[in-house]
Amino acid sequence: MKKRLFILAAMLVALVFYGTALALEFSANMVNTSKGGKGMTSKVYMKDKKFRWESMKQDTITISRQDLMKTWIIMPKQKSYMEMTLDPSKDQAPREKMKGEISRKLIGSDTVDGHPTKKYEITYKDGQKQMKSYQWLATDLANFPIKSAAVDGSWSMEYRNIKMGGQADSLFEAPKGYKKMAMPGVPRR
C-alpha cells in the first residue's frame, strides 16, 4: 500500500513538472516541504520536453517524455520499471501564470538561492475552492518559477543549486535490461 501511494505521488510530481521551463536545460535540487517541517529533496533534470526526477528517500526515478507522451517510474533496486501514458490535460507545470489563476499581485522583490526574484501573491481556483499562494519568479532565469508556497504555510516547493546548461540525452531514456511491470490498478491488455 505504501509503495502504491509513493508511485501515485511520483506520477503526480511528473505531471506537475511536465512542461516546466521547456526552453531551459538545467539540473537542480527540488525541495518540497509540508506543514510540520517534513520535507523531501529530489534531484531534477530538464531538457526540452523531457524531465527526470530522482527521489533521494524512495530510491525511485521518474522520467517524463512529452515527445513520446510517456512516463516511466523506475525502481533501480528491483531493476524494474512501470510505464504510463502522459496525459497533457493534467499539466500543472509551474509557469509564470499558474493554472486556474484569477489574480496576481506583486508584493516585492526577494532573493531565493542567490537568484533575484519578484514575489507575487496569486489567487487561483482549484476545483471549486479559491486558493492563495506565493510565487517567486527568478528574473535572471527568464522568470522561471524558482519557488512556490501556500500563503497559509501548508506547503512549499523550491529549486536550489540550479545548474544551467546541457543535460545528457541518456538521462531521459528508459532503462535497458530492466523488467517492465504493470501499473497497480491498471488492467493488463
Q: pLDDT tens for residues 43-82? A: 999 888 888 999 877 789 999 988 899 999 999 999 999 9
Domains, the chain, with CATH or none: 2-181 (2.50.20.10)
The pLDDT confidence band at residue 127, using thresholds 50, 70 and 90, is: confident
d(CA 151, CA 14): 24
d(CA 177, CA 79): 8
d(CA 61, CA 54): 4
Q: Is the pLDDT of residue 160 over 50?
A: yes
The pLDDT confidence band at residue 168, using thresholds 50, 70 and 90, is: very high
Q: What is the CA radius of gyration of the chain?
A: 17
- Please give the torsion angle defined by the CA atoms of residues 178, 59, 146 and 129, in that order, rounded to the nearest 10 degrees: 100
pLDDT at 186: 55
d(CA 117, CA 162): 14
- Output the pTM of the full model: 0.76
Residue 63: closest CA among 15, 29, 28? 15
Grid look-up 516511466 returns: 72
